[in-house]
Structure 1
Amino acid sequence: MQNVTYHREALNQSGIDMLSMCKSQLQKSNESFVNHDSDLAEEVIRNETRINALDLKIEKDCEKFIALYTPVAIDLRFVIALLKINSELERIADHAYGISKYVVDIDNKISPHLLTATQFDVMHDTIMLMMDIITEAYENKDVKVARKVFKKDKILDKININSFTVLEEEIKKDNSITAEALILLSVVKKMERVGDLIKNIAEEIIFYIDAEVLKHQNKK
């Protein structure tokens, strides 16, 4: 029993570490994008190897845990949920990497005016708050906290939908901004997708703790 508890806690800590690393990658990638800080963007790109290494470690450790202890009930739900949460976090890190690649590969700082018009700062702040929420929910096994991200995700959806129209109008005023507007639109869509991935993580936390499956419910 002691070995089970020890290995389960080690897995849990790896999940916390992955959450922390991915949050840091998001923060730095967005800061590098807004400020066109290529040095910070390069740091995010370099850190991708650490994310990938931890991703593989968590996957292997989960498989080993299942093979050694044949977990049932909440222990089994925990391992299944962690595997899915880990996958979603790795995809979040991929989006942070992609945003940073724009900064490194394209020598074109986005106009502060366009960032304001699309409410990019609101989008960023909302995503970071959502990351804080799921980290708290995961660490404290708190379903009520996990559910808070669903309402926050709607803010991202609205900004994403509005951004096309907003940028279209800006291009009509000055077509010389077309290239940077398209880059910004692409990053906004990445951010919206990050919100979806965070929402998926919240669903997995709820599944793990309460054995409640939420996936696809909103589509019925």
Structure 2
Amino acid sequence: MFRQNFEDELNDLHVRFSEMGMMVNEAIYKSVNAFINHDKALAKEVIAADKHINERETDLEKRSFEMIALQQPVTSDLRMIVTVMKASSDLERMGDHAVSIAKSTIRVKGNVRVPEIEQVLAEMATKVKQMVEEVLDAYVKADIKRATDIAAEDKNVDAFSNKIYQMCVAQMQADSETIVGAMDYMLVDNFLERIGDYVTNICEWIVYLDTGKLVELNSNAKEDNVL
């Protein structure tokens, strides 16, 4: 009976984390749409909804600490609890970056816009959103190979980031009227690139969940067994 109750709590933790991931993915999608479409009302919606993401992260952390203190989980279960704690922190930071994109939307006041750059930003955002969806599915299935493949896709996000940076610099040099707007594009580009980095972090926690090893994906660096 005791074990069954613990399994139920563990499964509930698992479900709540997945729900948080969907909340964050929606925030990313809405924030970029708001920026590209100059939709300040949608941007404000993203900012207002962020409190729910923060509350979920706090709830997951609290539940995780309680389970560790009261249930004294065995190694494999402990790894899952630690993974939820760490990965939910990464999700919360991703939500913060979505809020930053939304705030950029609200801050823009009549700046000259550049559709070509906005198109590439939209493509970059689509790629990032896809990675978030995939990493959440990989987490649910504890799929190490897929997690490793998703982390490798971050190079595509970096390529988008470099392209947008170059486009912004060229645009600012060609037309001084676009300098303020181009700087906003570069900010949004940076926020999306950081979200991609946090996706890689979650991929690393998926590997840890199965192996007990902390590995640095997209790098040759590795660490020893932890649990």
- TM-score interval (norm. to shorter): over 0.9
1:146: which partner in 2?
A: 147
Alignment of 1:55-204 (within 5 A): 55-108=57-110, 110-116=113-119, 119-204=120-205
Matches of 1:143 and 1:219 in 2, distance apart? 17
2:219: which partner in 1?
A: 218
Alignment of 1:37-52 (within 5 A): 37-52=39-54
**Percent identity of the aligned residues?**
28
8 Å contact from structure 1 (residues 133, 148) kept in 2: no
- Greater mean deviation of Cα atoms: 132-141 or 61-70: 132-141
Change (3 A) 1:27 1:217: closer
Matches of 1:65 and 1:213 in 2, distance apart? 22
Matches of 1:163 and 1:114 in 2, distance apart? 7
For residue 18 of structure 1, report the CA deviation from its aligned partner.
Answer: 0.7
Q: What amino acid does structure 2 have at the position aligned with 1:130?
A: M
Root-mean-square deviation (Å): 1.5
Matches of 1:36 and 1:217 in 2, distance apart? 35
Q: Which of 13, 22, 25 is residue 11 of structure 1 equivalent to?
A: 13
Unaligned runs of 5+ in 2: 222-227
TM-score, normalised to structure 2, is: 0.91
Matches of 2:24 and 2:102 in 1, distance apart? 13
Matches of 1:134 and 1:86 in 2, distance apart? 13
TM-score, normalised to structure 1, is: 0.94
Matches of 1:74 and 1:48 in 2, distance apart? 32
8 Å contact from structure 2 (residues 32, 122) kept in 1: no
1:30: which partner in 2?
A: 32
Q: What amino acid does structure 2 have at the position aligned with 1:167?
A: C
Q: What amino acid does structure 2 have at the position aligned with 1:165?
A: Q
Matches of 1:213 and 1:51 in 2, distance apart? 26
For residue 159 of structure 1, report the CA deviation from its aligned partner.
Answer: 2.0
Matches of 2:132 and 2:66 in 1, distance apart? 28
Write the deviation string for residues 43-77 of structure 1: whole angstroms up to 9, x where unpaired.
10110111111111001000001011111221011
Q: How many pairs align?
A: 218
Q: What amino acid does structure 1 have at the position aligned with 2:88?
A: N
